């Protein structure tokens, strides 16, 4: 776990918001309920909710993925993202014990 990379990823308000949305995708992306959340949330849905361009959202998601906070799955032309809850558990443990 690269602590610097994680805290850099968490230092942006929009990236924090995306992580919050991904924590409860059923509540935050109801328009995707029909297809489910097995692979995560489609990047297009995140773009729609954030009001940002796909390139900006992709940059943010890449930063979160590099930090290990999200994972991605490619299905055809779509990419889906979900939170890496194990990384959050490790981060909480790190904060409780070392910081």
For residue 99, what pLDDT band results from cuts at 50, 70 and 90? Answer: low
How far is it, in rounded angstroms, from Cα 40 to Cα 61?
A: 13
pLDDT score, position 1: 65
pLDDT score, position 62: 96
pLDDT tens-digit readout, 45-94: 999 999 999 999 999 999 999 999 999 999 999 999 999 999 999 999 98
Domain of residue 68, residue span: 3-98
This prediction's pTM: 0.91
**Number of domains making up the chain:** 1
Higher-confidence residue of 79 and 95: namely 79
Parallel/antiparallel/unpaired status of strands 70-75 and 78-83: antiparallel
Q: Please name every residue paired with 78 in a beta bridge, in sequence order, or none if there are none.
A: 75
Q: What is the CATH number of the domain that holds 57?
A: 1.10.10.10
């Amino acid at each position: 776990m690269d602590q610097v990379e994680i805290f850099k990823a968490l230092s942006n308000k929009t990236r924090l918001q995306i992580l919050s949305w991904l924590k409860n995708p059923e509540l935050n992306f109801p328009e995707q309920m029909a297809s489910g959340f097995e692979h995560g949330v489609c990047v297009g849905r995140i773009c729609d909710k954030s009001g940002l361009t796909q390139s900006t959202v992709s940059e943010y998601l890449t930063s979160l993925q590099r930090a290990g906070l999200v994972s991605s799955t490619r299905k055809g032309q779509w990419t889906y993202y979900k939170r890496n809850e194990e990384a959050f558990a490790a981060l909480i443990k790190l904060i409780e014990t070392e910081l």
